[in-house]
Structure 1
């Protein structure tokens, strides 16, 4: 409200200044000033709309309404505008012989000003309509840079489609043949504006947090629409293939559809969806990358953020890095075998390192000796047990199958026009599958960051990569608190869904889990949230507002007195969140909450797709 108040004040100053200036010009009979002043007035209103100064525009509308009423009353009092102009013309003298001289005449000056008003009326009407729509949606500022990027991206896509077909075949950043034109850059699809019926979408330059228990409409209302309407490559994780079943046909029309089941079950995949074969080893090419991939595997473990487990995790991570580096010199089959009996494979691994001398091999050999040779048997057994959890999925025959015959490239995926990767992690196997899933997601994230850095050098526009991670704390436990604060700036739009904040606290710790509410730019609240801690934390994070308070007092002798003050109240109290009805969604952008109509992919997919374009 403070921002709107400042804009209303600006409007009063703007309108008052223009009114006084035009009045002075008329009073001094400097009629040639009236048209340019009128033009400046309308231009000011238009610029106010373009800069998102909604309060200013609405206040000017009210001022103009009052101005019209006063002018009408004055015209009636003076007996009509024509008579007033005729009297002024008589007083001025004969009609001027040409236009330039006529600018000095009151009749000509008024006529030109009136004509200018008619010319600018459509622009002014559009400006007011835009401002009114923005106000109803709670928008007080427009991201002009985002608008510019959207226009530039759309123009680039149009140029690509109308240019020489042969040129597109050699450009790595152009859409693949037959792919539909990309949607304008936009974030998660959240629902419909209850007043205009238009789409409400998250800001793609920030992360989006969706909170809703099972049955609240997460998948049908946010997850599936966000996957279907993502403007570029998108990754979807879920506990089952429901998102794939709902959106694969739509996404196949825009790019290639992939499905990754770390356990190797490919029987449920529909026609036209390719099964992913990939392993963490595909991201290893030297000792440093081996350490990086081992750290990715570690962060997927349930106790990854437990200080009491840090020692065992550190040693297990080092050992895993040795296996990864040695396997990068031999192949994935050896890695699968070594992970099942790492201590028995020690001498074989040393032989591989000796056969490939160099600084990287020396560091890997030292790390192996520190874990195997310099550690007591009991401690080494504990480290080995910890490391075995990193490779749990590769103890399954299906897991071994998915690791062989690599056919998926994270680097090519992020360069695609609009490819889709579906990942299913059954709830009973989350701990087994999580390391492989996290490793793949992190590989894609790394490639997107690298690609963004390359494109930024030449200011080349590109659609963002979108991660839509349902049940993120279980299915894809990447380091969300760290990634959410940086991903949007590198064209990675993060959409994460939780049942409540208790899941986040359990996964990333009390402080970091609760801190998600301040890190993400868009918060989406669905019906059915009952966890008291979540309700209170959400309400507090949204903040308070100042409400005017009027108090009337009656003294003993019957005298009345009125006092004015302000009181602070929650913008959204916990009770309102808890009582949110089905079919409604609360969206919080910054500290501005507003209620919208929920989308339903299964019932209105066509409407959603139309609204997204």
Structure 2
């Protein structure tokens, strides 16, 4: 049986060790005090102009003993040969007080440092288990990234002067070897960053600015736009999808969930995306209701597409369960061969089932479409046919699309953004298949900021597995692993974690299970964690741990955008953009009313999108763009005429 109390000899040993420590401390303090008294007297003589008194450090103990017995007569304390050269008593005491103050200050900071070191265990630079300098050179260095340039971006093959940011992204600097770390554009990222840990300033904003080609940014905050708009507007066209009005930007891009649903498969996938992003689960007793609601929405989207209707019509149908207009459109489509046989009958059966079930099906459908309850969102998703967006042109240069929306539990914009992102991914991958090596060149960068909140794509785990092969640099930002498990499920979250080539972990997490999982990922050395859960949780702001592919973990020092070489230029652009937004906010506007035109930015540089403005990619076209990347406004045009739309569909 185990012992509940220590043995008496163990207690005696501990007491003896404590007493010895106390005794040694007293002796050390006393010796140092004696030395300070002697040194103060010596310096008093020197400062008085008498020179250095004839006394050595070995006299300090006797000097201190005699001085403490009679502090008013320092000459009696020093050897006879040194006494005449001593300074006055007041000077000796003043010097001694200065010594005591400095010693107290030094002792305070020494104790504080020792306690912090013991508590935080910050000094771990000599610890084993981290990537060596050689590993970093082979896998994460500038040279390693440039070595793959010709394959990830075929147009750079054989060219000189290619920079690592042309084919990759800067991660930070290894705190041990001081090497700069880079990743390739084909590396999919997961960035775990709890709120207020600096993911935007250290990753999202710099990666948006540095994106070597087109860039799509999703966010629930306006600063994702204000931090980077001015810099990206100098490189190419800029488009903004912001129906919630986070930026109040006057020239808004619009997207139609209807476009592309002429294809029954697209209609079915898009309906499923809306249901999934709305938080519905096809399990238990509600499985039939959810399946029925998905089928109705599929029929609505397809009927609207073949009948030339918009999302306004779909919303009208959803609030009128007995409206036969979608049924008539489906029957007409079956007769003309534009609708699959049997869909009209399925929809009619669901109408009958809704009546027999006391109208239980349609209320859930209305809840699925709650994202369109905001008139601004419905307007942004109901553009006329002539408003289109050329995906091929967008991908041809350093153009930018900002997709912004508020984070809210009910009626949020997440289903719209999710369906939109699924459509954009599908279009980008199809464009990639038309290029050499089936890779986008220049590469596409996708910054999925707050992915679980604003764009929880059902296909995201699969996209993370193959986006690199299309030269789509996909960066997924999550607050924690538990957030991913809650949104995608345990299995899909595990696939996302496995498919990430680069995993970036920042401090501040509070979930013990997540911290332990990350700690286990980093491994052990001699039975001890390379980084314990507590050490991961307490990582300083401005630092992170990078676990890339098969390399051992690397602790990196991050660079916020304001410390970059172009930090002043970014800050100036941010201030100008915020001023523009403030001025726009002062201008009265209403839904459908006239709005001011966004001030023009600098002309696009060499990376600006080029090419013909046609329909060569099969499904997407674009309106003319101004120098700031927004759609040009015709004289007298209202808000609806100056907005731009992304039209989904198949190529």
Q: TM-score, normalised by structure 2?
A: 0.60
Equivalences for residues 580-599 of structure 1 within 5 A: 580-591=539-550, 592-599=552-559
Report the Cα distance in structure 2 between the residues aligned to 1:139 and 1:154, rounded to whole angstroms. 20
Q: Which residue of structure 1 lines up, in the alignment, with residue 442 of structure 2?
A: 463
Partners of 2:270 and 2:228 in 1: CA distance: 31
Q: How far is the alpha carbon of 1:144 from its aligned partner? A: 7.9
Residues 205 and 489, structure 1, Cα contact 8 Å, conserved in 2: yes
**Cα shift at 1:183:** 5.1
Return the offset for 1:375: 4.9
CA contact (8 A) 1:315 1:371 kept: yes
Which structure has the larger Rg? 2
Supply the distance in 1 between the matched residues of 2:492 and 2:365 (Cα, whole angstroms): 26
Per-residue CA distance 1:250-294 (angstroms, 9 max, x = gap): 11112211111244x376228xxx411112112322322211221
> 1:396-439: CA deviations, max 9, x gaps?
22122212335453633653312211122212367521111011
- Superposed CA deviations along residues 350-387 of structure 1, whole A, max 9, x for unmatched, are 222233324525332023123212455337x3332222
Equivalent position SS for 1:596: strand
Partner of 2:401: 421
Match of 1:508 among 488, 497, 500: 488
Aligned position for 2:38 = none
Which residue number corresponds to residue 389 of structure 1? 367
Q: Which has the higher helix share?
A: 1
* RMSD over equivalenced CA pairs, Å: 3.5
Paired residue for 1:77?
none
Cα displacement string for residues 499-519 of structure 1 (whole angstroms, at most 9, x for unaligned residues):
111211111123332443222
- Closer/same/farther in 2, CA of residues 542 and 327 from structure 1, 3 Å limit: same
| Pairwise CA distance, 1:391 | 2.0
Q: 2:383 aligns with which of 395, 399, 405?
A: 405
Residue 206 of structure 1 contacts residue 520 of structure 1 at CA under 8 Å; is this kept in 2?
yes
Match of 1:299 in 2: 276
Which residue is 2:263 aligned to?
286
Q: 1:150 to 1:433 in 2, by over 3 A?
A: closer
Alignment of 1:218-237 (within 5 A): 218-237=199-218
Measure, in 1, the Cα distance between the counterparts of 2:285 and 2:181: 44
Question: Residue 355 and residue 341 in structure 1: after superposition, are their counterparts in 2 closer, same or farther (change >3 A)?
Answer: same
Structure 2 partner of 1:153: 155
Q: Is the 8 A contact 1:208 1:494 kept in 2?
A: yes
Q: Taking structure 1 as reference, are residues 410 and 311 closer, same or farther at Cα in structure 2, changes over 3 Å only? A: farther
Q: Specify the alignment match of 2:49 in structure 1.
A: none
- 1:158 and 1:373 map into 2 onto residues whose CA distance is 69
Match of 1:484 among 452, 458, 464: 464
Distance 1:588 1:607, change over 3 A: farther
Q: Which has the higher contact order (CA 8 A, sep 6+)?
A: 2
Q: Mind listing any 5+ residue stretches in structure 1 that lack a counterpart?
A: 1-131, 160-180, 548-566
Alignment: residue pair count: 432
Superposition deviation, residue 314 in structure 1 = 1.9
1:279-333 Cα shifts (integer Å, max 9, x gaps): 2112322322211221222221223475665433222111001111111123216
Residue 196 (structure 2) pairs with residue 212 (structure 1): no
CA-to-aligned-CA distance 1:224-246 (integer Å, 9 cap, x gap):
11111111111111112111000
Name the CA distance, whole Å, in 2 between partners of 1:405 and 1:243.
25
* Corresponding residue number in structure 1 for 2:502: 522
Identify the residue that residue 424 of structure 2 maps to in structure 1: 444
Contact persistence 2:461–2:495 (CA under 8 A)? yes
Unaligned runs of at least 5 residues, structure 2: 1-131, 571-606, 608-651
